[in-house]
Amino acid sequence: MNIFSGLRACTRRVTSLQANLYLTSGRTTSGLLVPRYIHVSSKPFKAQPPSNSPPGPSSTSSTSSSGKKTEPNTSVKPKNESIPFQRVFLVDPETEKLQEKPLKDVLAMFNKKTHFAELQRTDPFPVVRIIDKSEAHHKKLKLKEQQKAAAKRNVRKEFQFTWGMAQGDVSYRMERVKDTLRKGGKVDIVFAPKAGVRTGPALLEMKQRMEELVGSLKDLATEYKNREYRRFLAAVFLQGQGTGKDAAASQEGGSE
């Protein structure tokens, strides 16, 4: 092998070595070859979604500023076009039977100035009833009256008497007792000695007087609790039957 052949072989080896070094190294700004190191993390690799990926499905329940989930308001029943069903089961007002119909046909069956269609329930299928507006208003007023009557029955007053109270004072206070009972309220009647007096009637006499008192009010009230007797003290507990014509609300609480 002559000198030129050896020189060409040496050149080929140098060129091959430079190529290998280029694949495993980086170049600085000065053109020198420097080793390239690959950093291997000890943490497991976690794939990240691409930035242009579509957002996930949104939740159907809303979240308040406090972080608590809020449910949709279901106290108001959907009416007319707000009913979210294309086909519904209509209630026959006479037979109460159900008939399946398209919602658009149901809405065409009545005058919207005087009637409306209201969704009654959705399980197991949507049930709709046609309601007269005047009747609905009447039922609403009746419900309010029933709620007022129930509130009156929860009114509770205490009336205090003394064993030696003058008959005129007793009669005046008993009229107030009767007024509360007529409105359906509760009345607690307590008899006790006058302030500073440490004596009173015997137990037998107290029982007789309470029996007479309850008997005089039997047309207006019934006892909702057993009578109580202590030393010189007697109490009866009456629930009014609400027989009064006047529907004015009675004031709650307090003792008289």
Q: pLDDT, tens digit, for every residue of 19-28?
A: 454 444 444 4
Residue 193 · residue 207 · CB < 8 Å: no
Between 61-70, 75-84, 135-144, 184-193, the lowest mean confidence (pLDDT) is in 61-70
Strands (DSSP E) along the chain, which ranges?
25-27, 33-35, 62-63, 69-70, 87-91, 98-102, 115-121, 127-132, 156-162, 186-192, 221-230, 233-240
pLDDT tens, residue by residue, 161-172 = 999 999 999 999
For 203, the 3-state DSSP assignment is helix
pLDDT 10s digits, 92-112: 988 989 999 999 999 999 998
Per residue in 45-89, pLDDT (tens digit) is 444 544 444 444 443 344 444 454 444 455 788 999 999 999 999
pLDDT mean over 207-229 = 94
| Spatial separation of the C-alpha atoms in residues 43 and 65, rounded to whole Å | 36
Confidence category of residue 153, pLDDT binned at 50, 70, 90: low
Domains in the chain, CATH or no CATH each: 80-135 (no CATH), 155-240 (3.30.110.10)
The pLDDT confidence band at residue 125, using thresholds 50, 70 and 90, is very high
pTM over 0.75: no
